[in-house]
Chain A
C-alpha cells in the first residue's frame, strides 16, 4: 500500500494566479521562490534532507483557477466565459484542453510510489564503493558487468568509479510534464560524475566515452547487486552508440506500466573546454573535418543542468508553461515525432526548450511568447514559430542572432542528431496545425490532439523501403560512430532530394529504433545493413512530369554536374521552345506506377546499387478496357467523351427548326464527370455508364401543359421533332426516340432521345422544365417518384457540375472516387447507395483534409476516406463540405463561412428531428448545391434498411482499415458468407467481347438489346417488390456488363420472419403457424423470385 506523509497531503496548493492578474511583481516573487527550490533541485549535499525534498516532487497540480467550483454564481461564470474566449480559442476548446490534460494526467499515487524507489536508488548509488583506477584490459576482464563500449580496449588511460557528486531528477518528471501514455514514461535521473575521474583532454578520441561507459557499468552493477525492486538494462540514448544509458524498470507491474527510470551521466560544467567542442571543431584526431555529432554528444552531458535550469525558469515564469508542454508533447506524439533521430529527433524536450526560448525572448531578442499567455496561446505561438520559417533559435543567449539551423543551448545544438528532413516535415506539420488552430468554424480539437496522424498509409502519398548497406564503414568505425544510420539516412535523403526536385513537397527517411540489452551481453553491433523507410508527400502538379529538366547546354559545368549525378540516362535534348537542355526522360510503362517511384528506383540503383521495396498501388484493381491499358492516362479517356458530349450539346443548341430552342444541356452521368467505374470507350456498350445521361432545358415557355401525362407526352413529341431535325440537318449523328416508365410511377411514361455521335459515344437526353416538380407534386406522385424526378433534373445537373469542378481542381479525385465505387460495388453496397453519395464521400479527403493536406495519391485518398468512414458517427455528426476554393492553404476545409456552416448544421438538426429513427436517411452530406444534405442519401419509401447499410459501411471500413498497405487489395474481395440467401445470376446482357463497332443507333432493336442491362433491371424489380421481407444486394453495378456470373444476396428482415397477424395485402407470401398467426414463407418467396427470373438463374 502507498504510505504517504500526511504533511504532503496537507500542504496547501501552490499559489495560483489568474493569468491576467499575474503582474511583474508577482513574477519576481515567483521567480525568487523558484530560485530557492531550483537550487534545491540542483544540489543536495545533505543526503538526509533528500526524502523531504523529493516528496515535494509529488505533483500537486493546483486546481486551474479557471475551473469553476461546483456552486459558482453566474457572475463568476460570466467572467470565466469572457476570459476563456480571450485567452483560449473558444470555451469548448478550453474545456476540451482541460479534459484532455486531466485524462493524460499521471496518477499522483504512481509518482509517490516512484519517488520512494528513487530515494532508495539514490541511496544505493551514493553509497556505492569506489572502483579503480583500473587499466581498460583489467576492467573488461574482471568486471562482471559488460562495459557498453565498442572501441579499442588497448589504451593507456585508466578507468574508475566514485560515487556521483550529485544525483538529480531532470527532464519532464522534474518539470511535471510527464504524462500517462501507452508505453511507460521515463524518469530521467542525472548522475554528475566527479571531475577527478577525468583529465581535461578526455574530450578527445572517445576517451570520455570509454570512461563514461565504465562508470555506467559500475552504476548498473551497483543497482543490480542491490536489493532494489528494479530490473536494469542498457540502451542507447536515442540510438546514439556513444551514449549508453541504464534503464531501470520497476518490478512492480502497475508502476512499470506507467514509469521507468533512465539513468543519465553528466559532468560538471567546468570540466571540458566547451569552446573546443563547438560544431566546427574536430575532436577525433584520426578523422578529418569537424565532428559535430561527437562534439554535441559530450556537450549534452555538460549542459544537462543548464537545460534543466532553463526549463524551470520558464515553468515558474509562465503559469501555463507545463500545460503547454503537455499539449506539445501530445501533439508531437500523435504525429510520430520523438527525440530518437529515427523519428525526426524532435521530442517533447526539444519542444519545451523551444517554448522556453520563445518565452524568454525569441530570435534576436524579439519576445514571441508572453508571460500571461494561456497554455493554448503558448502552444499556438510555438507552433506558429515552427510554421513560419526553418527552425533556428538560441535558447540561452538572445543577443547573438543565431543564423544556423537548429535549437541551440550555448554552443550545443540539441538537434545535432536530427536528420535533415526533420526541418521541412516539421514545418509542414506546424503549418497544417496553425491552419487548424485558426479555423473559426469547426471544432478541430480532435484532429489536433486526440487522433493519431502518423500512420504512413494515411499521412504520406508514397512509401517504399530501402535496404542500405553500411559496409562502407569498417567495423571499428561503425562501432563508435554515432552517425552510421544517420549517415545512411542522409545519403538517401540528399540523393532523392536532388533527384526528385519539385516532384515532392516533403519526405522523410525513417529508420527503426534500437532496443535495450541486458547487462551481461555485449552491446549490439551496428548491423551490416539498415532498412530505411522513405515516405513522401508529392506535389501533384509536378510529380508526374515525364522529363527531369537539366541546365541549358551552354552552361558547361552545370551540365557536367547534372550528367555526373544522373549517369548515362541524361541526354542533351532539344525542346519545343527551341532550347537545348540536358534532360532525363522517364519511360512510363504502366500507368499505375508513379513517376516518382521510377525516378527513385533508378537513382538508388545507380548511386548505391540498392533496390527499393514497394507495394503496388491498389489503383491496379480498377477495371479497365484492355486496349486502353497503358496507352492513355484515364483522364484523357474521360476528356475525349466529354469533348464529344460538348460537341453534341452545341449541335443540339444550334438546331434551328424547332418550336422551342434548346437553351442548355447538362450532363448528369458519371462518365461525364470523371467518376464512372470504367473508363469510357467509344462503340462499347458494356462499360458502366456507356450510355451517358443528360438533360436538355428549353427556352422558357408557357405552352407546356400543366398535367403530368400531357406534359410528358408533349416532351416526347418534342424529342421526336428533335430527332427528325437531326436526321435532316446533322446526318453524322444518329438519334432514336424511346419511352420508358417514370421511375416510381410506372403508369406514366416519359420519353428520351438517344444520340450516337460521330465519335461513337452514346448520350441519352431527357427534357426538364422549370415546373416539372410542381406539376408532379400536384399529380400526387408517390414521394419516391418525386425524389427520382428531382435527382434526374436540375438537382442532378447541379451535383454533376460540382463534381466536374472538383475533378478538375483535384486531378486525383477521379481515381479516388472510382476506387471508392469499386469498393462499394465489391461489397454489394453499390446496389443501394447512389453513385452521387459515393462521389460525395470520396470528396472528404480533398475538401475537408484535416489533419492532413489534401492527398496527392489516389490510394491515400481512398484510405483516408475509409478512415473517415470508420470514425464517422453519422448519427450525430453531419458531413458538410465547403466547396469554395481556398487559396494557398495547406489544409482544405478550414475556412468555411460560419454562417453557412451554422445554417447547414441547423438543417441537420431539423432533419434529425424529423427522422429520429433514421428510416429516411442515416447519412447527412451537405454542400452548397444540396443544402438539405439528404438528396443523395435518402431512400423512399422510408425503411429500416438505410441504417443497416450505414452500419455496414462503418463496419466494412473498419475491417479494411485493419489491413496494411501490402494487403489492402483484399479489402476488395467480395464475401457472401454474411448473407442468408445467395442466388447465382447469369446476366444475359453481359458480354465479354467488345464488339459493336460502328453500331448504328438507328437500329433501335439492337440498341434495345445491347443498351439494356437485364440483370440490373431484374434486381431492381425484385429489390423493390420484396424490400419489406428481404434486403437484397447485387454484385453488379449500374451498367456493369463485363461479367456474366453475378450474385444476388439477401438478408431476411426480422419483423417478417417472426410470427405475426395475417392481414390481406402483405407484400410477401406467408404460411400459417399453429396458433393462428402467420410467418414469412421463405421457400415460397424464393421460389417466386426464381420463377420470375426464369432462365436468369442457373
Chain B
C-alpha cells in the first residue's frame, strides 16, 4: 500500500553527508511517443541531480545504462531506459528493495566557490566575442521582424472595420510600435449646478448630510480607538 499514487520509493544515500538520505519517488511514465518510450517518472529528486547520478541509479538497479534524463522541473524528470524490460526491472527493484537498500548519491560538477568563480567570470566575456554574438543575434532579430511586418501587411490586418488601411512607416519595425487610437475626449458639461433654487437647496442638503456623515464616521473612529484602549495616557 504505497499511498503515494502508485509511486515506488528509492532511498538515496549522500556520499557527502553519510548520515543523511533522501527518498525519491518513481513510477511508470504513461506516454509512448517516439522520444520518451520506456520511461520512468521520478519525483522528489535532489536539485543537484545530474545525468551521472541517474546513471548510477539505473546501473545499480538494472545493470543497464539509461538512454537519457529529461529534467521537467527542479525536482522531477523522466528517466528514459533502453527498453521496457530495463524500465520494469528498475521499478521492480525499487518495489522490492527500495526501502531497505539504497543507492549512493555522489556529488558531481563544480560546487561552492568553484561554481561561483565560473559563473562570475562568465560575466566578463571578451568584448569582441560579446559584440559578435550580439551582431549575430540582431541580424536574426531584424530578419524576423521584417518577416513579421510583411506577414501582417499581407494578411491585411492593417485594414480597419471601415475599410481604411493604416499606413505605417517602414521605419517602424514592430506592430507594438503602432499606437492605438486615442480615446475620444468627453465634452465638459456646460450646465451650471448652482443656478436654480432647488439646486442650491440640494447642495445645502448635501453639505449637511456630508457633515453628518463625517461626524458619524468620526464618532465610529473614536469608538474604535476606545475599544482598542487607545486613550491610556500613562
- B and A form one assembly: yes
The one of A92, A1005, A1091 in contact with B107, judged by C-beta atoms closer than 8 angstroms, is A1091
A181 touches B234 (CB 8 A): yes
Does B32 sit at the interface, judged by CB under 8 A? Answer: no
Q: How far is the CA of A1091 from the CA of B46 in the complex (A)?
A: 10
The chain A residues found within 8 Å of chain B, CB to CB, are 74, 77-78, 80-82, 90-92, 95-96, 99-100, 102-104, 181-182, 330, 333-334, 446, 449-450, 452, 702, 705-707, 709-710, 713-714, 716-717, 720, 723, 736-740, 778, 988, 1004-1005, 1007-1009, 1012, 1014, 1017-1018, 1025, 1062, 1064-1072, 1075-1078, 1081, 1083-1084, 1086-1088, 1090-1097
Q: How far is the CA of A1066 from the CA of B43 in the complex (A)?
A: 9
The one of A99, A1066, A1088 in contact with B48, judged by C-beta atoms closer than 8 angstroms, is A1088
The residues of A that contact B117 with a CB separation of less than 8 Å are 1009
Does B160 sit at the interface, judged by CB under 8 A? Answer: no
Q: How far is the CA of A697 from the CA of B124 in the complex (A)?
A: 23
The residues of A that contact B145 with a CB separation of less than 8 Å are 705
Nearest-CB residue, chain A, relative to B169: A702
B73 touches A1065 (CB 8 A): yes
Q: How far is the CA of A10 from the CA of B4 in the complex (A)?
A: 79
- Given A77-B215, A80-B215, A1094-B114: A449 in contact with B233 (beta carbons within 8 A): yes
Does B168 sit at the interface, judged by CB under 8 A? Answer: no
Does B230 sit at the interface, judged by CB under 8 A? Answer: yes
26 pairs of residues in contact across A and B, judged by CB atoms under 8 Å: A81-B215, A92-B218, A95-B222, A99-B225, A100-B233, A103-B231, A713-B141, A717-B134, A736-B124, A737-B124, A738-B123, A1012-B120, A1014-B116, A1066-B44, A1066-B75, A1069-B22, A1069-B46, A1069-B75, A1078-B4, A1084-B46, A1086-B20, A1090-B16, A1091-B14, A1091-B107, A1092-B111, A1096-B112
Most buried by A among B17, B46, B123: B123
A1083 touches B20 (CB 8 A): yes
Minimum C-beta distance from B162 to chain A (A): 27
Q: How far is the CA of A713 from the CA of B141 in the complex (A)?
A: 11
Q: How far is the CA of A331 from the CA of B134 in the complex (A)?
A: 70
B residues 170-190 in Cβ contact with A at 8 Å: 171-174, 176-177
Minimum C-beta distance from A1095 to chain B (A): 4
B3 touches A737 (CB 8 A): no
The 7 A-B pairs of least Cβ separation, nearest first, read A1076-B3, A1094-B112, A1094-B111, A81-B215, A1084-B22, A1004-B124, A95-B222
- B83-91, B125-133, B150-158, B192-200: which lies at the interface: B125-133
Does B23 sit at the interface, judged by CB under 8 A? Answer: yes
Q: How far is the CA of A417 from the CA of B73 in the complex (A)?
A: 81
The one of B7, B14, B113, B232 in contact with A1087, judged by C-beta atoms closer than 8 angstroms, is B14
The residues of B that contact A1009 with a CB separation of less than 8 Å are 117, 120
Does B212 sit at the interface, judged by CB under 8 A? Answer: yes
Minimum C-beta distance from A309 to chain B (A): 30
Most buried by B among A702, A1005, A1081, A1088: A1088
Nearest-CB residue, chain A, relative to B174: A706
A706 touches B176 (CB 8 A): yes
The residues of A that contact B62 with a CB separation of less than 8 Å are none
Q: How far is the CA of A260 from the CA of B174 in the complex (A)?
A: 86
The one of A450, A702, A1065, A1075 in contact with B231, judged by C-beta atoms closer than 8 angstroms, is A450
Does B137 sit at the interface, judged by CB under 8 A? Answer: yes
A1087 touches B74 (CB 8 A): no
A1088 touches B233 (CB 8 A): no
Does B216 sit at the interface, judged by CB under 8 A? Answer: yes
Minimum C-beta distance from A1037 to chain B (A): 18
Does B159 sit at the interface, judged by CB under 8 A? Answer: no
Q: How far is the CA of A1096 from the CA of B216 in the complex (A)?
A: 62
Q: How far is the CA of A716 from the CA of B130 in the complex (A)?
A: 9
Nearest-CB residue, chain A, relative to B131: A720
The one of B25, B114, B130, B222 in contact with A92, judged by C-beta atoms closer than 8 angstroms, is B222
Does B166 sit at the interface, judged by CB under 8 A? Answer: no
Not counting A77-B216, A1062-B4, a sample of 6 additional A-B residue pairs whose C-beta atoms are within 8 angstroms of each other reads A450-B233, A452-B234, A740-B123, A1025-B47, A1069-B22, A1091-B17
B17 touches A96 (CB 8 A): no
The residues of A that contact B138 with a CB separation of less than 8 Å are 710, 713-714, 717
Does B191 sit at the interface, judged by CB under 8 A? Answer: no
A1017 touches B231 (CB 8 A): no
B130 touches A739 (CB 8 A): yes
The one of B17, B115, B174 in contact with A1090, judged by C-beta atoms closer than 8 angstroms, is B17
Q: How far is the CA of A15 from the CA of B100 in the complex (A)?
A: 93
Nearest-CB residue, chain A, relative to B45: A1069
Band of interface residues on B: 35 or more
Minimum C-beta distance from A258 to chain B (A): 13
A1091 touches B111 (CB 8 A): yes
- Given A1014-B113, A1071-B23: A739 in contact with B212 (beta carbons within 8 A): no
Nearest-CB residue, chain B, relative to A68: B219
The one of B127, B137, B211, B231 in contact with A709, judged by C-beta atoms closer than 8 angstroms, is B137
Q: How far is the CA of A1018 from the CA of B74 in the complex (A)?
A: 17
Q: How far is the CA of A333 from the CA of B234 in the complex (A)?
A: 10
A1072 touches B134 (CB 8 A): no
Minimum C-beta distance from A1008 to chain B (A): 5
Does B221 sit at the interface, judged by CB under 8 A? Answer: yes
B231 touches A100 (CB 8 A): yes
B76 touches A1087 (CB 8 A): no
The residues of A that contact B64 with a CB separation of less than 8 Å are none
B218 touches A1076 (CB 8 A): no
The residues of B that contact A707 with a CB separation of less than 8 Å are 141, 174
Minimum C-beta distance from B56 to chain A (A): 15
B76 touches A1065 (CB 8 A): yes
The residues of B that contact A1091 with a CB separation of less than 8 Å are 14, 16-17, 46, 48, 107, 111
The residues of B that contact A1008 with a CB separation of less than 8 Å are 120-121, 123-124
The residues of B that contact A716 with a CB separation of less than 8 Å are 130, 134
Does B226 sit at the interface, judged by CB under 8 A? Answer: yes
Nearest-CB residue, chain B, relative to A93: B218
The residues of A that contact B97 with a CB separation of less than 8 Å are none
Minimum C-beta distance from B145 to chain A (A): 8
Minimum C-beta distance from B42 to chain A (A): 10
B123 touches A1064 (CB 8 A): no
Q: How far is the CA of A1025 from the CA of B74 in the complex (A)?
A: 10
The residues of A that contact B171 with a CB separation of less than 8 Å are 702
Nearest-CB residue, chain A, relative to B226: A99
Minimum C-beta distance from B125 to chain A (A): 7
The residues of A that contact B1 with a CB separation of less than 8 Å are 1076
Indicate with 1 or 0, residue by residue over B131-147, a CB within 8 angstroms of chain A CB atoms.
10011011001000100
A709 touches B173 (CB 8 A): no
Minimum C-beta distance from B16 to chain A (A): 5
The one of A1062, A1087, A1090 in contact with B25, judged by C-beta atoms closer than 8 angstroms, is A1062
A330 touches B212 (CB 8 A): no
Q: How far is the CA of A702 from the CA of B178 in the complex (A)?
A: 12
Indicate with 1 or 0, residue by residue over B59-92, a CB within 8 angstroms of chain A CB atoms.
0000000000000011110000000000000000
Q: How far is the CA of A613 from the CA of B131 in the complex (A)?
A: 66
- Given A707-B174, A1017-B116: A720 in contact with B211 (beta carbons within 8 A): no
The residues of B that contact A710 with a CB separation of less than 8 Å are 137-138, 141
The residues of A that contact B219 with a CB separation of less than 8 Å are 91, 95
A1018 touches B116 (CB 8 A): yes
The residues of A that contact B114 with a CB separation of less than 8 Å are 1094-1095
The one of A717, A1012, A1072, A1090 in contact with B3, judged by C-beta atoms closer than 8 angstroms, is A1072
B134 touches A713 (CB 8 A): yes
The one of A736, A1018, A1081 in contact with B22, judged by C-beta atoms closer than 8 angstroms, is A1081
B113 touches A1096 (CB 8 A): yes
The residues of A that contact B208 with a CB separation of less than 8 Å are 78
Nearest-CB residue, chain A, relative to B4: A1062
Indicate with 1 or 0, residue by residue over B94-122, a CB within 8 angstroms of chain A CB atoms.
00000000000001000111111101110
Q: How far is the CA of A1009 from the CA of B114 in the complex (A)?
A: 11
Q: How far is the CA of A80 from the CA of B221 in the complex (A)?
A: 17
Q: How far is the CA of A452 from the CA of B172 in the complex (A)?
A: 66
A706 touches B177 (CB 8 A): yes
Q: How far is the CA of A1083 from the CA of B172 in the complex (A)?
A: 57
The residues of A that contact B124 with a CB separation of less than 8 Å are 736-738, 1004-1005, 1007-1008
